[in-house]
Amino acid sequence: MAGLIFLFRPIASSPIATTDSEPITDVVLIGGGIMSATLGTYLTELEPNWKISMFERLEQVADESSNGWNNAGTGHSGFMEMNYTPEKNGQIDISKAVAIAQQFEVAKQFWSYQVKHGLMSDPKEFINPVPHIAFVWDKDVDFLTKRYAAMRQNPMFYGMQFSNNPTEISSWAPLIIEGRKADQPIAATRMMIGADVNYGEVTRQLVTGLKKSNNFDLQLNTEVTAISRNNDGTWSVGFTNLKTGKEDHIKTRFVFIGAGGAAIKLLQYTGLPEVDQYAGFPVGGQFLVTNNPEVVKNHTVKVYGKAAVGAPPMSVPHIDTRYLDGEKHVLFGPFATYSNKFLKHGSQTDLLAATHKGNVLAMLAVGAENLSLVKYLISQVMLTENDRFTALQEYYPKAKAEDWHLVTAGQRVQIIKKPEGGAASLQFGTEIFASKDGSITALLGASPGASTSPYIMLELLEKAFPEQTKNQWKPKLQAIIPSYGQSLEKNPQLLDSIRRDTSAVLGLIYNPEPKAQANNTEATSATAQ
């Protein structure tokens, strides 16, 4: 796929020599990102006496996929992401948007609990109120009108506003209207409860909370180089200190691989046969950024557009407010890039090293079946500076080229999966891997990823520790996540109560019943039909 030559090689780790007298830790977390930090926080709450070790190959946590500049920072909640609401036979399917909206409510409950209990500090350092807007023009106006009509009936989207009035939309997001042709049909929806999240800061605060426990150990500048099964059912994790070159290992009962794009490669060290069904395809991203005070002052929203027909979900254009490093910025993108690296701070040999006779045919088959993706990536790599600026002007007609500069974001690895006896497919979401006995787990894939990390790690706990989550852990999980085990979509009163509480704790704007807009009669009549 992408014209590479694949090598055929054994990839499982050689067994690590251990002794029965070695101490055994309870949990090893590989990777110092938001997933490991979230899972570690759950486990510390559920089992305070468990010993947990976290290994991170960089000099600090949250410096790869979770880093604010490497992550889109959207609190993915299904409000504005139109790729989550496809149109099928003239009907809008909102099921995925509903699911993601519920998952983000779990994230807000988790963070609120940590703030209330002093394990996370000032919420403004990691989350800020930023309305979420879906914006379209010309032929897509009809789609958004139908989308709004479908979504406004669901409790997860109570408070959503619709407008096809340029004056009103300009009051929501002036940059996207100024300079636009007055006779161009446009439409937008807005959810005021939307947020911008710095997942790097979330991670740092969670790890700071973990370090308050005497049972938590963090090793930075440390790369995991081997994972092997021991005769007693435990795992040995080999690692190297990248500063001293010293090699060592640790025995553990449970392993979680939260290493972003490197997760597939690390899973392959285990030699587990079920890992053979996975391969990965790396895709990078770039964004245009402006710090011009006048531009930044006039844009405090996230505006998502509609991807072109045939384009992959990763291509959805958006012009976003971001709060990073104590400053407000505006970003536009993404523009896809191609690299063989699985991590931004990875190696050009990553793709080659993770490719073997068990997954190469699946990769080639997926490449042949996803020619639109290959074509898209080639076209993105060929973009010029003028091409990127022209794309920006579709969303910000009066943009000035001198105000913007290009930054490279993080790498994402899309999952290629071939179940036994099934066909290979390219997947764009996230997937939890768990061995048959639940002793080794991993998170694979990308979006919505960080936005729903507390929900994803709850799912992982249920897979790895089914008896504990059903029994002794359940009361504590319900204290952390009051909606645990319940459908918020089916319980609007509980949803309202939770949104009021988390919005107050996190400083978000919650207005479930906005006043009707006097100048929006066309939209009202359109959705009433």
DSSP 276-289: GGEEEEEEEEEEEE
DSSP SS3 for 346: coil
The pLDDT value given to residue 3:
34
Please give the helix or strand (H or E) that residue 444 lies within, else none. Answer: strand 440-445
Domains of the chain: 24-478 (3.50.50.60)
Q: How confident is the model at residue 115 (pLDDT cuts 50, 70, 90)?
A: very high
If we measure between CA atoms, which residue out of 331, 82, 343, 316 comes closest to residue 198?
331
DSSP 103: H
Confidence of residue 307 (pLDDT cuts 50, 70, 90): confident
Closest CA to 36 of 191, 224, 214, 187: 224
Report whether 438 contacts 466 (CB < 8 A): yes
pLDDT for the residue numbered 309? 61
Single out the residue of 324, 464, 451 nearest to residue 38, CA to CA: 451
Q: What kind and span of H or E run contains 165?
A: none
How far apart, in whole angstroms, are the C-alpha atoms of residue 380 and residue 482?
44
Residue 519's pLDDT is 40
Residues contacting residue 7 through CB under 8 Å, at least 6 positions apart? 352, 355, 356
Flag the least confident range among 145-159, 343-357, 483-497: 343-357
Percentage of residues in the chain with pLDDT exceeding 70? 81
User: Which of 162-171, 196-205, 377-386 shows the lowest per-residue confidence on average (mean pLDDT)?
Assistant: 377-386
172 within 8 A of 118, measured Cβ to Cβ: no
Task: Please compute the mean of the pLDDT values over residues 167-185 and round it to a whole number.
Answer: 96
- 220 and 60 in contact (C-beta within 8 Å)? yes
Q: How far, in Å, CA of 359 to CA of 1, rounded? A: 12
Q: With bands split at pLDDT 50, 70 and 90, how would you rate the model's confidence at 282?
A: confident
Q: Which of 299, 72, 331 is nearest to 177 (CA)?
A: 299
Average pLDDT, the chain: 86
Given a cut of 90, is residue 122 above it in pLDDT? yes
Render pLDDT for 178-188 as a digit per residue (tens, 0 to 9).
999 999 999 99
Peptide bond into 397 cis (omega under 30): no
CB 197 within 8 A of CB 126: yes
C-alpha–C-alpha distance, residues 326 and 62, integer Å? 16
User: What percentage of the chain's residues is helix, strand, coil (to nearest 5)?
Assistant: 35, 25, 40
pLDDT at 325: 82
pLDDT of residue 418: 66
- Global pTM reads 0.88
**Model confidence at 339: pLDDT above 70:** no
Residue type, 125: E
